A and B are shown apart, each in its own frame.
Chain A
Amino acid sequence: MNRRASPVTRHPSRDDPIVCRCEEVTLSEVVRAIREGYDTLEELKRKLRVGMGPCQGRTCLPLLARILSRETGRPLDEVMEEISIRPPLIPTPFDLWRGR
Chain B
Amino acid sequence: MKRSADVVIIGAGVTGAALAYELARRGIRDVLIFERKFPCSGASGRCGGGIRQQFTTPHNIRLAMEAVNRYETLSEELGVDIEFIQGGYLILAETEEEREAQRKAVALQNELGLPSRLLTPREAKEVLPLLDETTIVSATYCPTDAHANPFRVVEGYLARARERGVVLEKFTEVVDLEVKEGRIVKVRTSRGDVAPGTVVNAAGAWSREIARMAGVELPNQPIRHEIAITEPVEFFMDVMVISIHNGIYFSQTKEGQIIGGIGDPEEKPGYNISSSLGFLRRYARELLRYVPALGQLSVLRQWAGLYDVTPDAQPVLGPTPGLENFIQANGYSGHGFMIAPAVARHLADYIEKGIVSEILEKLSLERFKEEIRGEAFVVG
Contact = CB atoms under 8 A, between A and B. Distances in A.
A1 B292 CA distance: 11
Given A87-B301, A94-B287, A97-B281, A1 B155 contact: no
B159 to A, nearest CB: 9
Contact of A91 (B281, B294, B298): B298
B197 interface: no
Given A43-B38, A56-B300, A95-B295, A88 B233 contact: no
Contacts of A97: 280-281, 283-284, 299
A70 interface: no
Given A40-B38, A95-B288, A88 B302 contact: yes
Nearest to A90: B298
A98 B297 contact: no
Nearest to A86: B301
Chain A: interface residue count, which band? 20 to 34
Interface residues of B, number: 33
A88 B299 contact: yes
Contacts of A54: 231, 300
A10 B41 CA distance: 30
Contact of A3 (B231, B236, B303): B231
A93 B297 contact: yes
A1 B296 contact: yes
Contact of B302 (A1, A40, A86): A86
Interface of A is mostly: loop
B284 A98 contact: yes
Contacts of B281: 97-99
B285 interface: yes
A54 B45 CA distance: 20
Contacts of B275: 86-87
Interface in B214-254: 230-234, 236
Interface of A: 1-4, 6, 40, 42-43, 46-47, 52-54, 56, 84, 86-88, 91-95, 97-99
Interface of B: 38-41, 45, 151, 155, 230-234, 236, 256, 275, 280-281, 283-285, 287-288, 293-303
